[in-house]
Every structure is written in structure tokens, then in C-alpha cells.
Amino acid sequence: MTDTSDQTQTKTPWHLWVVGVLSLLWNGFGCFDFTMTATRNAAYLEPYPQEMLDYWFAMPMWVWALWVIGVFGGFFGSVLLLLRRKLAVPLFGASFLAAAISMLVGMLDADAPRMEGAGVMSAIIILIALLLAVYAGWMSRRDVLR
């Protein structure tokens, strides 16, 4: 006889796998973008205007730290979501907050160079980060994450 009273397990919904894989790809690209920028990969950065590169490489270390938290928090949140771990919730939350703060700093900086479409892309990034945090919280409240 097995005791299952303490081990009730909620079946994993199909959408967790879809959201998890898509978020892993999305956040994986964010990690790639950060890595190529931080390592100053010439081939990757070639399409960007020099004034944008100068601005990025002059950013204070705390802005770079927010970028790291945003992209790697989202990536590891995605991994933990696929592993059905509750730790995905605070990682997605940290990713959202870091993305929102760093994008806000960039928007409020009068000296920041502007690229066409950057505001829309920033809004999309923040929205996706928020939706992932909300989704992980929902899965946690439904006891899908342990």
C-alpha cells in the first residue's frame, strides 16, 4: 500500500510545454544577444551605428547587471518552468522587473541614441516578461509547479 495523501500531483497541462519551449527560445535569444554585445562580437554588432555602440559600452555596470538579470533570469525561469519548479516564479518576476527598469532608464536618458522601432521592441520585451511571470504564478497556484 502506498501513501498518496501527501503526494497529490497535478497533471501537467499541454500549454506548459508550449509556453516553456517558446519562452526558452525567446529568452535564449536574449542571452545570445547579451553575450554577443558584452563580448563585442564585431560581426554581430556590425549593423548597429557607432553612436549606439558607444552608448552601450559606456553604460554603468548596474545597467549591465539589470540586463544580465533580465535575460538570464528569463532563461533559467524557462528551464525551471519546463522542470515544473516553483523557483521559476521569482526568476520570471526578477526578469520582468530588471527588463522594465533597464528599459525605463534607457527611455528617460536624454543622451541615449534612438533607433527606429526600439520603443515598440522594448514594450514587447516587457510585455512578454510580464506574461511569463503571470503564467508561472498561475501554474504555481494550480500546484503544477512544485
- Residue range 1-29, pLDDT digits in tens: 555 544 556 789 999 999 999 999 999 99
Closest to 67 measured CA to CA, from 30, 107, 92: 30
pLDDT at 5: 47
Instruction: In whole angstroms, give the CA distance from residue 30 to residue 128.
Output: 12
Instruction: In whole angstroms, give the CA distance from residue 136 to residue 18.
Output: 13
Closest to 38 measured CA to CA, from 7, 65, 14, 15: 65
Closest to 73 measured CA to CA, from 105, 102, 99: 99
Q: What letter would DSSP give residue 8?
A: -
- pTM of structure: 0.88
Spell out the domain ranges in the chain: 23-141
pLDDT at 53: 93
Give the pLDDT band (50/70/90) at residue 112: confident
- Residue range 43-86, pLDDT digits in tens: 999 999 999 899 989 999 999 999 999 999 999 999 999 999 99
